[in-house]
Amino acid sequence: AQSVTQLDSQVPVFEEAPVELRCNYSSSVSVYLFWYVQYPNQGLQLLLKYLSGSTLVESINGFEAEFNKSQTSFHLRKPSVHISDTAEYFCAVSPPSGYSTLTFGKGTMLLVSP
Amino acid sequence: DAGVTQSPTHLIKTRGQQVTLRCSPKSGHDTVSWYQQALGQGPQFIFQYYEEEERQRGNFPDRFSGHQFPNYSSELNVNALLLGDSALYLCASSWGRESGETQYFGPGTRLLVL
């Protein structure tokens, strides 16, 4: 069985400040890792994913996440946030084989203020 | 290219009733997964359909059932509704059922059970 822990339910930050959203997972096997973003009244959108290879993955809008196997973590970072980054962020895992089902954390609400 | 669409957007039912939610996958996708997102929680996997068959199921009772049609669209049925079934129901589609494939989410159907 797999589980995902997002310790911070809310992260308030000022515009242009850096941010880190934490994600830890538990699994008896290796996993694929994902970050999804959910804007108000919308579905989830994939931000980035780690399947294999370089442990640092980047998204097109400036976010990056680093897979740390020893710490079973996949924290999401952005060096400078914008008001438009205000949204709920979900970390998720799936097994590397078999079906593409996702196990999500409870989410972290990123609140960016001017 | 239309993304994943879901209908209806909102629904109000009373306890004991039955409900059917519908999903059309993104063009070219053949796999549909359903998730339940309770308020303040991350999405939870209900089941996945591929080639018109339920391939994987999460920890949900038999009151939750589904169907996939030859055009890959899908329905989620919930019988004997309980207050606790109130949630946002998300449909996600992907090409193939292999783990690691990006799942594209629809905007969801918000179900309120009174």
Report the pLDDT averaged over residues B25-52. 94
DSSP B101: P
Chain A contact for B103, CB < 8 A? Answer: yes
Question: What integer is the mean pLDDT of B25-54?
Answer: 94
Residue B33 has, within 13 A of its CA and on its CB side, a CA count of 28
Answer whether A90 sits within 8 Å of B43, measured CB to CB: yes
What pLDDT is recorded for position A95? 83
Residue A84 pLDDT > 90, yes or no? Answer: yes
Could you report the per-residue pLDDT of A1-52, keeping only the tens digit for each? Answer: 889 999 999 999 999 999 999 999 998 888 899 999 999 888 899 999 998 8
> What residues have CB less than 8 Å from B6, skipping those under 6 apart?
B21, B22, B23, B24, B89, B90, B91, B106, B107, B108, B109
Band the pLDDT of B1: cuts 50, 70, 90. Answer: low
B55 touches chain A (CB under 8 A): yes
- CA nearest to B55 within chain A: A99
| Cβ-based contacts of A92 with chain B (< 8 Å) | 42
Given a cut of 90, whether residue A87 has pLDDT beyond it is yes
In angstroms, the Cα distances linking A103 to A20, B24, B88 are 21, 22, 16
Q: Do B102 and A49 touch (CB under 8 A)?
A: yes
- Do A32 and B42 count as a contact with CB atoms less than 8 A apart? no
The verdict on a CB contact (< 8 Å) between A100 and B42 is no
pLDDT higher than 90, residue B100: no
Average pLDDT of the residues in B9-32:
96
**Cα(B94)–Cα(B102) distance, rounded to whole angstroms?**
6
